[in-house]
Structure 1
Amino acid sequence: MHTHRLLASAAAAVIVIVGLPACAAVTANPITLTIGTQDNDDTHVAGEIKHFADLVDTASGGSITITPVWRAAGDVSRWDQVVAQQVIDGELDLGMVPTRAWDALGVTSLRALNAPFVVTSDAALVGATADEIQDPMLEGLESAGIVGLDIFPESLRHPSGFAEPALGLDSYQDAVVRAPYSATTEAMLASFGATLDDGTPDPQVHNIQETSYLRAAGPTVTANVTFFGKFDVLVVGSDIWNGLNDEQRRVLRQASDETQKWARDHLPTDQEHAQEYCERGGRLALAQQDDVDALIAASAPVLDELAEDDVTATSITALRALAPAGPLPPVSCADTSETAVDITGTWEFTTTQEDLIAGGVTDPTQVQQEAATFRYRFTENAWAYDAVAEYDLAQPRRTGTLKVVGSRVTIFWSGQASDSTSMDAEILPDGTLQFTNIVDADPVYQKASEVKFGLRPWSPVEG
């Protein structure tokens, strides 16, 4: 990913369904239901939505079509709450919304899921979605005019430090922590002495990121500090739900149940997520147990306040009865088999539209968005850039992870290991940085990457 890689329902119809695996009779009045999410179409959540849509299509004999709306909120603050509100308002028929979002909309029953230091293991992440635990939490959505079908496990959440690892309370004093908005998360961070900000991860703005391994923008994740788990809830607007007939509702419920089981079966472990983070150049740090204990103690008043609600208190007790945190991951996942070329520092270069066109780039968007003066900052295992151009850039500032093995440098553009550009690096006698043998994992961007990284050497910037 480079600088630019970024319906109301019809009337209810009568359908006959024998069972979810079998095809139902095709109704004379097929309906289409939208389902919104803030995720892109290539994430774990997207896989759940697609699986759900396929099951609904099969069970209804094609009479119910589920149409995903990716990044439904657009580029706004508090995006989770925006998607949730779209379902409440009927702009979306269904939604796959993180459970953390609902506390800001007056729903208190889901707060146990991102209560500080309650869900801290893979077993607890999956076990939290058992019917006997999730059903009382789902009932609370009724107050917002929402029907909750099922809760889906996604990932455990850790701190990722930008300039340095986030370890004990000292790391959080007066820090700005990048996190998706949640009143519960905000209260936890405030108990550490930190402030929540939900802007695009930026080391010039944020000290720490609250994140999963797959979405970590910082170079180091503290592996043995697990704030809570991230969960998503599949919801339907009450008016939409009440407008469906019994068989249509049964199809949606059974498809949701089957998708939840599928999601559990296909969920990578936290250790597997950590390994993928390592493969794209990330590092793991471990906090001292005294530091972990201090974070837990600091956030205890938040937990006490949450437990004043009976449903939340019961849910916290049930979640704590699940398995405790598993064994700690390794302290480092660096590949030290070869001496790495040292490209740390700040480098600048300019790419023009003429350069890109001459290099074989034909996509007008790429020609416009990749033509800029870039200033890249490399550390041992992270990168950041600022870009200035004649046109407004979709992403004038970005961060990510970096892996250097020998002379081979791989820049990871997102949380996916396959979304990357790799190349050989050499520091020339005049001190400039030359990249050769450039390979973009996405062939669509190959020509642009060859021009951007390889057309001319990058100049060092002092200071």
Structure 2
Amino acid sequence: MNLLSKLGAAVVVVAAVVGCGGPADKAGGSQTPDPVTLTLATPVIEESQPFVEEVGRVSGNSIHLDLLSRPSTDFTEAELIRSVEAGEVDLAVVPARAWHARGIKDFDALSAPMAVDSLTLEQQVLASDVAADMLTSVSAIGLAGIGILPGPMRKPVGITRKLLGPADFRGARIGLSASEVGMRALQALGATPVTSTLGGAPLERMDGLEYQVTGIQGAQYDNVARTITANVSLWARPLVIVANSKKLGAGQVDMLRSAARAAVRSTTELQRKTEIESASVLCRRGKLQFITAGGAQLQQLRAAFAPVNSWLQQDAKTKSHLERIQALRAQLPATAASNVMSCAGSQPPVATAASKLDGVYETSFTKAELAASPLLYDAGEINDDNWGDLTLTIKEGQVALSKRGGGTDTGTCTVRGDTVLLTFSGSGETFGFRWNLYRDTLTLRRDESLGPGPTPFLVKPWRRAG
């Protein structure tokens, strides 16, 4: 099983809103109107959260957003665009790569190979008038462009081979999310693109893939993948927010656009934070390596992508966008080597020998009892993996957590004084608690200084069963 920590918990429907002044009443006062509820379909709930929060702040809570999860596995990016065009939803968050297939090329520069190759540059581009110019293009299909949020950097992920320079890609089957620009880029390297939804989809017969570090960690692709080329960002995966212009008033559109601009910085910070956390988890699992391409290999990659850039520049707008992106890049300092992801210095917790906690412990609680716990981080912890009959086994520095009728996750246990750290191999996360054992009753207490402490460990005491 895999209990979710605060950081790993799913984000559910979110409200973000607040209001404009209402009409005058008969006494000469004012009434606050009810918030307007708008639906926003998104394949990435967590990445949309900064925008949701800014909508609440900018609108004074007069606009309420209901986030509808639309994972790519059962609701394609093309269908996201269709749903907002048809008015089935008010807004949608659509990866920039998807618009080319809809006949809109204005976002292609954001997916150009190695053009936007860092979160820092991506933030600069999306906060500039480049993004504003791109957004006007969706009016051709009756939509209002609201904003573009920074997305993660897509890295070369090696499965059967390391992916450093063009020679490593030659003849390789590389998984990628559907993208005309991405397919052409991989073909320019001599690879065979294999379109996949990724995000947990099987990787059979693939030699590698283009994917973000957070996705590798979340989908546990490190069970198959062996390397991530840390200093190569093939392209970014930014998110375009659009609205059905017939369903929104001009004032609402203006507030949403202001919120999107304000969310660029906080979304960048979220992307950077989650990437660092995911890299740390992958390092603790110890199943893959972060590797770096040499200077000659980086030059060879850029040279190999030249035909793709020439194709992109046949469109006058895309050519202009690429030139402006390059101008913004020239203003940034070179990325320091120390900023490249690495497992150097990352060591898993050292397992201890037999401790006072060694034993088998059991607890049981219902979904309702979990939901009612005052210790609940958020609603994301209320899922079927996190309640029922649980067994925690600690023995000589090892830990196993299982659920009756469910799975088992194992890892290491480190006990120091009245603290215990549990590191599980399934999630790669380390949970920390204060503990007390009295007459075969183990009580765990959350201490944020020790790391996240998921609520399922805390709902009820654990009784020693062996």
Structure 1 position 38, deviation (Å): 0.9
RMSD: 4.6
Query: Is the CA contact (8 Å cut-off) linking 1:37 and 1:97 kept in structure 2?
Result: yes
Specify the SS of the correspondent of 1:34: strand
Query: Is the CA contact (8 Å cut-off) linking 1:123 and 1:323 kept in structure 2?
Result: no
Counterpart-to-counterpart distance in 2, 1:455 and 1:162: 43
State the one-letter code of the partner of 1:46.
Q
* Structure 1 stretch displaced more, 86-95 or 143-152: 143-152
| Corresponding position of 1:208 | 208
| Corresponding position of 1:104 | 101
| Corresponding position of 2:329 | 323
Specify the SS of the correspondent of 2:150: strand
Counterpart-to-counterpart distance in 1, 2:133 and 2:386: 53
Q: Percent identity?
A: 20
Q: Which runs of 5+ in 2 are unaligned?
A: 11-18, 23-28, 284-288, 352-359, 368-382, 391-404, 416-420, 434-443
| Corresponding position of 1:31 | 36
Structure 1 position 290, deviation (Å): 2.6
Say if 2:270 is the partner of 1:259: no
| Corresponding position of 2:66 | 68
TM-score normalised by the chain length of structure 2: 0.65
Say if 2:216 is the partner of 1:197: no
Counterpart-to-counterpart distance in 2, 1:51 and 1:306: 34
Structure 1 position 307, deviation (Å): 0.9
Specify the SS of the correspondent of 1:322: helix
Structure 1 position 310, deviation (Å): 0.6
State the one-letter code of the partner of 1:333.
C
| Corresponding position of 1:250 | 254
Counterpart-to-counterpart distance in 2, 1:316 and 1:142: 22
Of residues 301, 310, 316, the one that matches 2:307 is: 301
Say if 2:84 is the partner of 1:87: yes
CA 411–88 in structure 1, closer or farther in 2 if over 3 Å, else same: farther
Counterpart-to-counterpart distance in 1, 2:265 and 2:282: 32
| Corresponding position of 2:54 | 51
Specify the SS of the correspondent of 1:128: helix
Counterpart-to-counterpart distance in 2, 1:216 and 1:166: 15
| Corresponding position of 1:333 | 343
| Corresponding position of 1:280 | 281
Of residues 221, 235, 255, the one that matches 2:242 is: 235
CA 159–300 in structure 1, closer or farther in 2 if over 3 Å, else same: same
Counterpart-to-counterpart distance in 2, 1:331 and 1:35: 33
| Corresponding position of 1:377 | none
Alignment of structure 1 residues 298-447 onto 2, 5 Å: 298-323=304-329, 326-329=335-338, 332-335=342-345, 360=364, 362-363=366-367, 365-366=384-385, 410-411=423-424, 441=452, 443-446=454-457
Counterpart-to-counterpart distance in 2, 1:455 and 1:317: 67
Structure 1 position 316, deviation (Å): 0.6
Say if 2:295 is the partner of 1:289: yes
Counterpart-to-counterpart distance in 1, 2:96 and 2:387: 39
Specify the SS of the correspondent of 1:224: coil
Structure 1 position 368, deviation (Å): 11
Structure 1 position 338, deviation (Å): 7.9
Specify the SS of the correspondent of 1:302: helix
| Corresponding position of 1:345 | none
Say if 2:118 is the partner of 1:121: yes
| Corresponding position of 1:374 | none
Structure 1 position 80, deviation (Å): 2.8
Query: Is the CA contact (8 Å cut-off) linking 2:386 and 2:456 kept in structure 1?
Result: no
Query: Is the CA contact (8 Å cut-off) linking 1:34 and 1:92 kept in structure 2?
Result: yes
CA 170–279 in structure 1, closer or farther in 2 if over 3 Å, else same: same
CA 94–337 in structure 1, closer or farther in 2 if over 3 Å, else same: closer
Counterpart-to-counterpart distance in 1, 2:425 and 2:311: 40
Say if 2:229 is the partner of 1:222: yes
Query: Is the CA contact (8 Å cut-off) linking 2:144 and 2:243 kept in structure 1?
Result: yes
TM-score normalised by the chain length of structure 1: 0.65
Structure 1 position 185, deviation (Å): 1.4
CA 26–249 in structure 1, closer or farther in 2 if over 3 Å, else same: farther
- Total equivalences in the alignment: 374
Specify the SS of the correspondent of 2:256: helix
Structure 1 position 370, deviation (Å): 10
